[in-house]
Amino acid sequence: MTSPQYIRNFSIVAHIDHGKSTLADRLMEITGTVSFREMKEQLLDDMALERQRGITIKSHAVTMHYQYQGHKFELNLIDTPGHVDFQYEVSRSLTCCEGAVLLVDAFQGVEAQTVANAYAAMEHDLMIVPVMNKVDLTHARPDEVREEMEHTLAIHAEEVLGCSAKTGMGCKEVLEAVIERVPAPQGDPHATLQAMIFDAVYDEFRGAITYIRVMNGTVRKGQKIKFLQQGTTHEVIELGHFTPRRKATNSLAAGQVGYLICNIKTLDKVNIGDTVSVATGEPALKLPGYREPKRMVFCGLYPSDGQDFKQLREALDKLVINDPSFEFSPETSDALGFGFRCGFLGLLHMEIIQQRLEQEADIDLVQTAPNVTYEIVTKTGETMEVHTPQDVPDQGDIEEFRQPIVRVSFVLPTEYIGGIMKLCTDRRGTYVRTEYLSPTRAMLVYDLALADVIYDMHDKLKSTTRGYGTMDYELLGYEPGELVRMDILVKGERIDALSIVCDRRDADVRGRAVIKKLKEEIPRHMFEVPLQAAIGTRVIARENISAMRKNVTAKCYGGDISRKRKLWEKQKEGKKRMKSIGSVDIPQKAFLAVLETGEEEGKKK
């Protein structure tokens, strides 16, 4: 059993693409955790989608052993995702560590997520080991980046270590700095068992595999344990370390990180942030858990072929086992049939779930436009959460309509500040501050409505700054806004699936754009089809799809006009009768075209 004074628990935090997973590879190589034969790039990113996109989606843990100054140290590394959508994964990992390696790219410098992750590590009172990666690149600018780190993160420039995770240069020094600077875990191996669950994965052969960090006491194979929050008792069948494969051991003591297998068949029996303690006698105190991840973006997922509904449900059930931050519930739509309303942490999370469904379950999906969660206070004083525009009550019943507001930090070259300020002003953003990280780079902070951020803010940012800008956002809360539900009526009937929640000031423009697009996509019928966009009972835009006409007077040559009139009247009667009983066929293509352009054209004012 390793004494707590020779254990170091740390994670690597950085902006997306700054080289966290590559540095983890080098550290495993230096410590001999993985043989040269087993080594491959981004070894910890074991999900096919992670390897394909080159990003980390799930946190991964690995235990390494290293001989330093005559002592054998046990180093537990928890690799974390860099993207803003997976921020909750980062906060879970940081709770289990005493230190964090803060990685910054020697060319790109301090980015939006670097700042967010550094503050998160400071909030958890972690010892930060600042490291600058990619110093071997010809266009690296180490002196300027050190200055940026000192200025933005209050880190002394001389404390920053330089390394190249790709070539391995300076990585040994990083490892030794972790041993020297990161404090040993506090905890008594002989106290009552107290362990934190920081993650769980599902294995089809072994069931739920629970990742734990032991705070106090010792857990042994065959012992009876209790999950305090869940209130369930289990027997430990197997426990061990990640090396990075699972390696069984007989016990895990205070300060150690590892896994438990307890014959648990589903992941909903394991609560992330729960405390593991003894089943008999006085249990340990509960550890402060995590905030439940809040789903902010919702959209409908429908099988493009109506037959696959059952298959889609099975695929979603499987996914939710592995990713508890995602949720779904069945819904129906006039245009698309049966499907599911799904909640995600953000746009990238939504994209990844969709890709996993298409690749792993081989289902062809139709996805509706993403929308955010709104809060509505009704006239009766009741507060309700609304995930879809169809659930919004009538305008007369609403006392206050609130929308989620986020604080967005843009890190960008100074010459693009004007363009981004205009972009935020067009979206009615509130200016907060500008910070200069260096003479050529600045951080611009704005408060914006989340709905405006999720649609196309990232694309607009990249095109305005030519790819050099990055952004990070955090939820501030809900604020009242001038919001309305805009309905689309086809032949006087409201089409639920086309309703949109938007700002009252944008409604006219967006209404006209949707109606125009529908007119192009809906085929002509034997009768006239009116298309309308309305807020409540007020129609704000209208177009008519004219009826197909047959020339009924073609056989009349000369003669009295009354004969022609008679035929026209007869045709008119037939059209009228047809209009009262005929239904309008809206093709799926028309429906999807509206979803794509309803957002876009509304912005082109």
Per-residue pLDDT tens for 409-422? 888 888 888 888 88
Q: Is 19 annotated as a binding residue?
A: yes
* Residue 56 · residue 80 · CB < 8 Å: yes
Percent of the chain with pLDDT over 70: 81
Q: Return the sign of the alpha-carbon dihedral for residues 312, 313, 318, 320.
A: positive
Q: Give me the mean pLDDT over the 306-329 stretch.
A: 75
Q: Is 503 annotated as a binding residue?
A: no
Tokens of 512: 């006209």
152 alpha carbon, distance to own chain's centre: 26
In Å, what is the CA distance from 153 to each residue of 84, 302, 382, 581? 19, 45, 44, 69
Percent of the chain with pLDDT over 90: 0
* Residue 190 · residue 7 · CB < 8 Å: no
Give residue 594's pLDDT. 57
Tens of pLDDT, residues 233-246: 888 888 888 776 77
Task: Flag the least confident range among 203-212, 288-297, 338-347.
Answer: 288-297
Q: Give me the mean pLDDT over the 355-383 stretch.
A: 77
Task: Flag the least confident range among 33-37, 295-299, 420-424.
Answer: 33-37
In Å, what is the CA distance from 348 to each residue of 133, 296, 322, 417? 25, 12, 17, 25
Q: Is 22 annotated as a binding residue?
A: yes
User: What are the residues whose beta carbons fall under 8 Å from the beta carbon of 209, sequence distance 6 or more?
Assistant: 200, 201, 202, 203, 246, 259, 260, 261
Separation between Cα atoms, residue 567 and residue 219, nearest integer Å: 92
Separation between Cα atoms, residue 65 and residue 86, nearest integer Å: 29
Tens of pLDDT, residues 477-507: 888 888 888 888 887 777 776 777 877 887 7
* Residue 421 · residue 431 · CB < 8 Å: yes
Q: Give me the mean pLDDT over the 138-162 stretch.
A: 82
Separation between Cα atoms, residue 9 and residue 160, nearest integer Å: 20
Mean pLDDT is highest, among 55-59, 132-136, 225-229, 515-519, for: 132-136
Q: Is 409 annotated as a binding residue?
A: no
Residue 261 has pLDDT above 80, yes or no: yes
First to last CA, the chain: 67
Residue 601 has pLDDT above 50, yes or no: no
Q: Give me the mean pLDDT over the 324-341 stretch.
A: 76
Helix, strand or coil, per DSSP, at residue 116: helix
**Which of 424, 432, 448, 426 lies closest to 505 in space, CA to CA?**
426
Task: Go through the domains of the chain in sequence order and give each one's CATH number.
Answer: 4-181 (3.40.50.300), 194-278 (2.40.30.10), 297-369 (3.30.70.870), 375-480 (3.30.70.240), 485-603 (3.30.70.2570)
Give residue 92's pLDDT. 65
How large is the C-alpha radius of gyration of the chain? 29
Query: Pairing between strand 257-261 and 238-242?
Result: antiparallel
Helix axis angle for 87-95 and 112-123, nearest 10°, is 30
* Residue 226 · residue 279 · CB < 8 Å: yes
**What residue type is 556 in one-letter code?**
C
Q: Is 462 annotated as a binding residue?
A: no
Bridge partner list, 545: 529
Query: Pairing between strand 251-253 and 275-278?
Result: unpaired
In Å, what is the CA distance from 229 to each residue of 204, 277, 464, 504, 546? 25, 10, 48, 45, 63
Bridge partner list, 484: 502
Tens of pLDDT, residues 576-595: 665 555 455 565 556 655 55
Tokens of 393: 């009550």
Give residue 520's pLDDT. 77
Separation between Cα atoms, residue 135 and residue 335, nearest integer Å: 55
Confidence at 45, pLDDT banded by 50, 70, 90: very low
Residue 455 has pLDDT above 60, yes or no: yes
Backbone angles phi, psi at 203, to 5 degrees: -115, 125
Give residue 206's pLDDT. 79
HSE-up (13 A, CA, CB side) for residue 495: 26
Helix axis angle for 112-123 and 142-153, nearest 10°, is 50
Give residue 59's pLDDT. 53
Q: Is 517 annotated as a binding residue?
A: no
Q: Is 231 exposed, middle or buried (0-12, 13-18, 19+ CB in 10 A)?
A: exposed
Tens of pLDDT, residues 83-141: 555 555 566 677 778 888 888 888 888 777 777 778 778 877 888 888 888 888 888 88
Give residue 23's pLDDT. 83
Give residue 53's pLDDT. 44
* Residue 298 · residue 341 · CB < 8 Å: yes
Residue 307 has pLDDT above 70, yes or no: no
Which residue has better confidence, 112 or 251? 251
Give residue 60's pLDDT. 64
Q: Is 17 annotated as a binding residue?
A: yes
Mean model confidence pLDDT for the chain: 76
Residue 220 has pLDDT above 80, yes or no: yes
Backbone angles phi, psi at 441, to 5 degrees: -130, 145
Tens of pLDDT, residues 171-214: 888 888 888 888 888 877 788 888 888 777 777 777 788 888 88
Residue 50 has pLDDT above 60, yes or no: no
Which residue has better confidence, 601 or 243? 243
Give residue 227's pLDDT. 81
**What residue type is 568 in one-letter code?**
W
Give residue 46's pLDDT. 42
Apex 196 CA angle, 177 and 225, nearest 5: 135
HSE-up (13 A, CA, CB side) for residue 285: 3
Separation between Cα atoms, residue 223 and residue 229, nearest integer Å: 19
Task: Flag the least confident range among 105-109, 248-252, 364-368, 400-404.
Answer: 364-368
**Which of 204, 206, 207, 256 lies closest to 62 in space, CA to CA?**
256
Q: Is 525 annotated as a binding residue?
A: no
Bridge partner list, 67: 72
**Which of 502, 494, 528, 532 lies closest to 515 in space, CA to CA?**
532
Q: What is the DSSP string of 556-593?
A: --SS-HHHHHHHHHHHHHHHHHHHHH------HHHHHH
46-50 LR contacts (CB < 8 Å, sep 24+): 48/359, 49/352, 49/355, 49/356, 49/359
Give residue 549's pLDDT. 67
Confidence at 256, pLDDT banded by 50, 70, 90: confident
Confidence at 52, pLDDT banded by 50, 70, 90: very low
Give residue 57's pLDDT. 45
Separation between Cα atoms, residue 51 and residue 56, nearest integer Å: 8
Which residue has better confidence, 355 or 422? 422
Q: What is the pTM of this model?
A: 0.66
Give residue 91's pLDDT. 66
Tens of pLDDT, residues 54-88: 444 445 678 888 888 778 888 888 766 655 555 55
Give residue 305's pLDDT. 63
Tokens 């780190």 -> residue: 149
Confidence at 349, pLDDT banded by 50, 70, 90: confident
* Residue 226 · residue 217 · CB < 8 Å: no
